[in-house]
Structure formats: structure tokens, C-alpha cells
């Protein structure tokens, strides 16, 4: 398991390759990349700053991955989240899950993203033509996380 909170960009291909290197028991690798969009809630976004809670962030990401491991057949996983200043088109977050079977890989990858969105202590501040603003939490993200309950 690899968890990293970093300002540097990441390489999806390299991270996927690292999970499967030297192994022949993995049948499925699902990955997700979240990127900065040039608009949000109807306003143009010129820049974004990502703040986090050092220490708690890494712990909460590791806990989310552990929870996914308890629910699905996860052979290995990588979560990388960038912090600092980002621009439209930049990568924000990467989740990669390796499993024997695709259903587990897809479910665990989406679960980790949904939980990361609602539990990991990151905060986005956007620069728009009207000035800077902290991004509001979305109800749709809460609903996405709720669907894994019960």
C-alpha cells in the first residue's frame, strides 16, 4: 500500500506498473484520476489551492484503504493526493487498486474515492473572476459515500 500527500505531479502509468511489477496473480487494475476543471458551480476557475491537515490526512487515507481491503479482495492499492497550488487540467488525486477480479477493483477504487471526498481532511480554495472562495462540500458527495453503507 502506498499513500502519499505531495505537491509534485504523479504518473498514472508508473503507479499502475509499480502495483503489478513482478506479480502474475493480479487480473484487474482499476484507477481513477481527479483533475482541476476550468469551471465549478457556474464560475470560471483560474487557480486552486489545496490545503490539508498533515498527519491526519495520511492516517485517514490509510484507514479508508484498510476499510476497502476489509470489504473487497484488494491485493494492493495506491493513493496519491496533491496539495498546494494547482491549475485547470492539473492532476489532483490518483487512486489505483489491484485485485484478482474486476468487480472488486472497480468497487474498491470508487469506494476509496467516495470516502476520500467526505472524510480525508483536504480543502479547496478556488480563484475565480469574482475573487477567491473556499469550495463548499457537496451533498452529492455525501450521497455517494452513503451508498456504501449497510
Partner 1 sequence: MSVKVLYFAGLREAVGQSSEQLALPAQIGSVGQLHAHLVARGGAWQALATAKNLRIAVNQKIAAVDAPLKDGDEVAFFPPVTGG
Residue 6 binds to partner 1 (criterion: CB under 8 A): no
Nearer CB in complex with partner 1: 23/59: 59
Residue 129 gets which letter from DSSP?
T
From the CB of 20, what's the least distance to a second copy, in Å?
Answer: 6
Give the number of C-alpha atoms closer than 13 A to the C-alpha of residue 85, restricted to the C-beta side: 4
Residue 93 binds to partner 1 (criterion: CB under 8 A): yes
135 binds, among a second copy, partner 1, none (CB under 5 to 8 A by kind): partner 1
- Residue 30 CA to residue 125 CA, distance in Å, equals 29
Residue 56 binds to partner 1 (criterion: CB under 8 A): yes
- Max CA pair span of the chain: 53
Cell of 107: 468497487
| Binding test (CB under 8 A) with partner 1, winner from 24, 42, 136, 149 | 136
137 closest CA partner among 128, 120, 129, 149 = 120
From the CB of 71, what's the least distance to partner 1, in Å?
Answer: 19
| Binding test (CB under 8 A) with partner 1, winner from 134, 143, 146, 147 | 134
Helix (H, G, I), strand (E, B) or coil at 74: coil
Nearer CB in complex with partner 1: 53/148: 53
Amino acid at each position: 500500500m502506498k499513500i502519499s500527500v505531495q505537491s509534485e505531479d504523479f504518473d498514472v502509468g508508473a503507479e499502475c506498473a509499480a502495483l503489478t511489477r513482478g506479480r502474475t496473480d493480479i487480473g484487474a487494475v482499476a484507477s481513477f484520476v481527479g483533475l482541476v476543471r476550468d469551471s465549478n458551480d457556474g464560475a470560471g476557475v483560474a487557480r486552486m489551492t489545496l490545503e490539508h491537515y498533515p498527519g491526519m490526512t495520511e492516517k485517514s487515507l490509510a484507514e479508508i484503504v484498510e476499510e476497502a481491503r476489509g470489504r473487497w479482495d484488494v491485493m494492493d492499492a495506491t493513493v496519491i493526493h496533491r496539495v498546494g497550488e494547482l491549475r485547470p487540467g492539473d492532476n489532483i488525486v490518483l487512486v489505483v487498486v489491484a485485485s484478482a477480479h474486476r468487480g472488486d477493483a472497480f468497487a474498491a477504487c470508487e469506494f476509496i474515492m467516495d470516502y476520500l471526498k467526505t472524510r480525508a481532511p483536504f480543502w479547496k480554495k478556488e480563484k475565480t473572476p469574482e475573487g477567491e472562495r473556499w469550495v463548499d462540500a457537496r451533498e452529492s458527495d455525501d450521497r455517494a459515500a452513503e451508498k456504501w453503507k449497510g
